[in-house]
Structure 1
Amino acid sequence: MLEGKVDPTQEKFPFNDVPVGYEWAKTYIQELVDKGMTTGVTQTKFHPSKSVTRGQFVTMIGRALHLEEHTYQATFKDVKKGEYYTPYILKAAEIGLVKGNHGAFQPHQPISREQMALIITRLYEHLNIQAPTGNYQSFKDYENISPYAREAVGTLKELGVITGKANGEFAPRQHLTRAQSAKVLIESLQHIK
């Protein structure tokens, strides 16, 4: 998963499980590996269609921007000292990227597409990046986007970070896949100078 060390000098695409239909993701996945943001599930498997957990997603952001907390604080009852994701989640909470729910972060739960959008736009706010307001209503299923995430979804659409599904929907509560997370993170980083 994300626990291992990443070899940013890897020259050849290391994963043999990125099937037809996921060619679009190869460049993004390679860039994640090159930047030291993630590893595969094994040395040769990436599992592009598997869901990304909340802990994994925040870890990738933390690794990309070198955001980690070195002093353990019991911020969330389910984020324990010594886990690979703990320093990144604690820092993300400290700077306002994540808030948790009833004292828990749920690091092993899959992250939804709308949760991803909210975290990325909070990151932009934290970094004082002027992000445009976009039209979340351009998605066919815009009424299914939670009110708290609507502006974030519109912003990421306006920036070109997300485009939605081929059917014109955003699918806000669908789990973000590992391939989708690669694209979103690399595209998001393009707006961070």
Structure 2
Amino acid sequence: MKNKLFLSALASAMVIPAIVIPSSGVLTEAATVKANFTDVAKGSSYYTIIHEMRDKGVINGYEDGTFKPLQEVSRKHVAVLLARALPLEPIRASKEFTDVPKSHPYHAEIQKMYRAGIVDGSQGKFNPDQPLSRVQMAKILDLAFKLDTKNTFKFPDVSSDHWGNQHVQALYSNGITTGDNGLFKPNAPVTRQHYAVFLHRALNLDKDVKPTPTPEPTEPTEPEVVIPDETLDLIARLDKIVKANEDLFIDGAKPFNQLAILYNPISAKFYSEGLDVVRANKMQVYTGREGWGPEFDNLDSTIRLTSKGYTNPTPRLGKSEFLFVPSNEDKEGTFSYDFRSDKALNVAEEWMEIGFPHLADKLLPMMKSKVMDARQQEKNGTFLPNDEVLIYEGYKINIGVDTFYEGMTVQMKFE
């Protein structure tokens, strides 16, 4: 197998604890005491693989002892893991993505992936926070592991002219994927448990697995998610709220699903308590995936707002007038918005009170002050960044206007 030495080097690299990536986006060392994950049942088809990968230091869980197997993996997390673990050789010059400035914590790793020809982005963006689809994972693993396509099997949901067909065939013919009830489900997001399984199979290619085409589900389907009654009640309430406010959702977009709301209660709060603010400021919700292609058509809990006819004067910000990005935690999130927009500032201030009331007294005056300072600087022609980092109420908070995006950012990460 042409990548045998490559896999040997990778296996050695994957043991180091510095490449463990929790979904919060912060790299941590692997725990020395390794208890089994409390939310991965022994009867699960993924139980052994998940714990084996954990024991090798490839993946990690959360401080509360959970793994959150059904949580979606973002593009930035997959990029940073592979870029730090694999000996990727550059084959082309760097290309800056408009949504990954040099100040981005994973800028170097994402650039490494791009220079190696593994990722390309879309319309100048990398979309780091978007969930990774199965067909995107197929492309990344195919190119990263330099796979040989040994045989083919036509999945009915991946046509021969699909952009990812060759990558899906490469994964299938090497036994990395076996499909699900005869389908590949290319647009389904990759969960943390499936990520562990895909990577585990790629690391064991020297076992020369030879898959046999079968319509039977040899790749276990997702186990039933136990959603608390209160979450189901919230979903039902949100559905009614969306229906009653259809005019606030561009093209009838419904940018969330049950798992998104389950894992991101702050976004749910904004939908259930904050749409009046959106309406009062004559803004609308949009998905942000228009024109990207079906591979990006995944529901998530990021909230994007824009006004009718709005054009951001900074091309790097695109259509976004206001953006809230949750971090799959009930304590964290990031506001990013056009500091020139009174509407965006109004929503940010109101939503700060709704989502982070314990931080509002400290941050609201700072938000207003930094926005006004940036506006005055722009008017005077002396535009300089005024962002700063502070520690408050157990949070590490980045707040202010930067000169790359020329946008106001309030990032709240619980330490």
Q: Which moved more, 1:148-157 or 1:73-82?
A: 73-82
Q: Which amino acid letter does the alignment assign opposite residue 188 of structure 1?
A: A
The Cα shift of 1:146 comes to 6.5
Provide the TM-score with structure 1 as the length reference: 0.79
By relative contact order (CA 8 Å, sep 6+), the higher-ranking structure is: 1
Contact 1:67 1:88 in 2 (8 A): no
Q: Distance in 1 between the 2:58 and 2:127 partners?
A: 21
Structure 1 residue 80 displacement after superposition = 3.3
Question: Does residue 73 of structure 2 align to residue 56 of structure 1?
Answer: no
> Does residue 1:5 correspond to 2:5, yes or no?
no
Equivalent in the alignment of 2:174: 159
Report matched runs for 1:71-150 at 5 Å: 75-125=96-146, 131-137=148-154, 139-143=155-159, 147-150=162-165
Superposition map of 1:2-81 within 5 A: 2-7=25-30, 9-13=32-36, 15-19=37-41, 23-65=44-86, 75-81=96-102
Contact in 2 for aligned 1:18/1:46 (Cα 8 Å) = yes
- Look up the match of 2:344: none
The answer to whether the 8 Å contact 1:113/1:176 transfers is yes
Deviating above 4 A after TM superposition, structure 1's stretches of 4 or more consecutive aligned residues are: 66-69
For residues 81 and 95 of structure 2, the distance between their equivalents in structure 1, rounded to whole angstroms, comes to 21
Quick one: percent identity of the two aligned structures? Answer: 32
Greater share of strand residues, 1 or 2?
2
**Per the alignment, in what secondary structure is the counterpart of residue 179 of structure 2?**
coil
Deviations 1:98-132 (A, max 9, x none): 0101111001001110010011111133xxx5x12
Q: TM-score, normalization: structure 2? A: 0.39
- Asked which structure has the greater CA Rg, the reply is 2
Give the drift of 1:186. Answer: 1.4
Q: 1:146 to 1:118 in 2, by over 3 A?
A: farther
Alignment RMSD (CA, Å): 2.7
Deviations 1:45-77 (A, max 9, x none): 2111111111111222234326699xxx77211
Q: Which runs of 5+ in 2 are unaligned?
A: 1-22, 207-415
* Higher mean displacement: 103-112 or 23-32: 23-32
Q: What is the distance in 1 between the residues matched to 2:86 and 2:117?
A: 15
Contact 2:89 2:116 (C-alpha < 8 Å) held by counterparts: no
Residues of 2 paired with 1:10 and 1:66: CA distance? 29
Query: Which amino acid is 2:27 matched to?
Result: G
CA contact (8 A) 2:133 2:188 kept: yes
Question: Which amino acid in 2 is paired with 1:52?
Answer: V
1:97 to 1:108, Cα distance in 2 relative to 1, 3 A: same
Worse-superposed segment, 55-64 or 106-115: 55-64
